[in-house]
Structure 1
Amino acid sequence: MDQLSIYLPGILLAYSIFLVGVASPGPNILAIIGTSMSIDRKSGVSLALGVAMGSLTWGILAASGLSALLAKYASALIFIKIAGGLYLLWLAYKSFKSASSTYDLEVKKLGQEGRSPLRCALSGYTVQMTNPKAALAWIATISLGLQPGSPIWVSAAIVLGIFVLSTVTHTLYAIAFSTSFMVAAYSRARRYIQATLGVFFSVAGLKLLTDRN
């Protein structure tokens, strides 16, 4: 219980950053939305599950790489947090820039009518694995939850927990955006959402840059 109380705040913070980040549509989410809107909900959900599996893969790679690095060079966590903090501040800038623009939600579909659920899932996995921002996002997220000497279960809890959140949230995107009502509602609220995300990313980025524990 003592260990849980020490590491739980960092784990929950990592979850929070993921949920904030997933509210800002990137290539993966835009593909899910576009597929659900233009093809059907089933294809969108299959694509979402593929994206979630890609997220799990990136998470395992990032966690194992960081764990191996920190096991050999504990001081490397400082530089990892600086890199993660700068990335989060860049996301904040992008969010504020998006909030100040007037463009509508631009989506795209992957594939064509009649594709099997497996092929849609493979397309989603490919989209996530070929997105270099996914790797940077995982490094920033995991570094928020890690402390010097963190046991392996902390990284595992972050990766598995975010995988579950990724599966749920991306599937919800596919279901929700298969309706024109949700598309219109998001378009109306987009600028407010992006401004809020900018604040969250700014706070999290500054926390990483100033945290030397």
Structure 2
Amino acid sequence: MDAITLPQLALFVATLGLAIVSPGPAIIAASQSAASRGRRASMPYAMGLAVGASLWCLFALFGLTVLFRWMPSLFVALKILGGIYLLWIAFQMWRHAADPLDMAGETVSGPGFARGVALNLSNPKPALFYSAVIMSVFPSLHGAAPAVVYGVALAVELGFYAAVTALMSTGPVRRRYYGAKTWIDRIAGALIGALGLSLILRH
């Protein structure tokens, strides 16, 4: 524990928070699901997204990025598979963009926890991000320190995705979403599709 200080944790949380809210497939998917389905149906999906993202931190702590350096072809393969999955998500969003919604309230079910985990595991780039941040902020980790870092990362991911879902499922946001659902879903699908293509093409 003596390897970790409060200023280090504060810097880690701030850096991670800025990365989470930057435009990416997970935050787009979480926002679209919350606006279309409501908080109750979308929160399991959001928690899955958070856990999926935090797993990259765990993998970084246990040396996955070292494996990527030794076997760059593995990283490329994961990026291509992840990009294909994101393209599938984008296609589904575009395909169902014009589907009507129940205006009476929240839907009962959404994509679910496992779909959230899968979406955030489809992009291996966060492993490199976590590795770089951890090495920069915590130059020396030993003992229980890695568990503390992972616990903080998980808490931040859960908190941010829960907050985004709660915000995007509010009445005013949902009413604006209903008014432009087709175009919002198509734009969200196009953005996720573009990110998927970028993941495949940028080796």
Separation in structure 2 between the aligned mates of residue 22 and residue 181 of structure 1, nearest angstrom: 23
Q: After TM superposition, list the pairs within 5 Å mapping 1:70-89 onto structure 2.
A: none
Moved more, 25-34 or 150-159: 150-159
Q: 1:137 to 1:171 in 2, by over 3 A?
A: same
1:169, distance to aligned residue in structure 2 (A): 1.0
User: Which residue matches 1:45?
Assistant: 43
Separation in structure 2 between the aligned mates of residue 144 and residue 43 of structure 1, nearest angstrom: 38
Q: How many residues align?
A: 142
1:163, distance to aligned residue in structure 2 (A): 0.3
User: Which residue matches 2:152?
Assistant: 161
Q: After TM superposition, list the pairs within 5 Å mapping 1:90-169 onto structure 2.
A: 116=109, 119-147=111-139, 149-169=140-160
1:133, distance to aligned residue in structure 2 (A): 2.5
Matched-pair contact (CA < 8 Å) for 1:7–1:154: no
Separation in structure 2 between the aligned mates of residue 11 and residue 23 of structure 1, nearest angstrom: 18
TM-score by length of 1: 0.56
Structure 1: gaps spanning 5 or more residues: 70-107, 185-213
User: Which residue matches 1:177?
Assistant: 168
1:64, distance to aligned residue in structure 2 (A): 0.8
Matched-pair contact (CA < 8 Å) for 1:7–1:145: no
Separation in structure 2 between the aligned mates of residue 57 and residue 150 of structure 1, nearest angstrom: 18
SS in structure 1 at match of 2:62: helix
Matched-pair contact (CA < 8 Å) for 1:146–1:155: no
Separation in structure 1 between the aligned mates of residue 36 and residue 166 of structure 2, nearest angstrom: 13
TM-score by length of 2: 0.58
Structure 2: gaps spanning 5 or more residues: 67-92, 102-106, 177-203
Separation in structure 2 between the aligned mates of residue 182 and residue 142 of structure 1, nearest angstrom: 36
Amino acid at match of 1:53: V
1:115, distance to aligned residue in structure 2 (A): 7.1
Q: After TM superposition, list the pairs within 5 Å mapping 1:25-40 onto structure 2.
A: 25-40=23-38
Amino acid at match of 1:161: V
1:51, distance to aligned residue in structure 2 (A): 0.8
User: Which residue matches 2:90?
Assistant: none
RMSD over aligned Cα atoms: 3.3
1:159, distance to aligned residue in structure 2 (A): 1.3
User: Which residue matches 2:11?
Assistant: 13
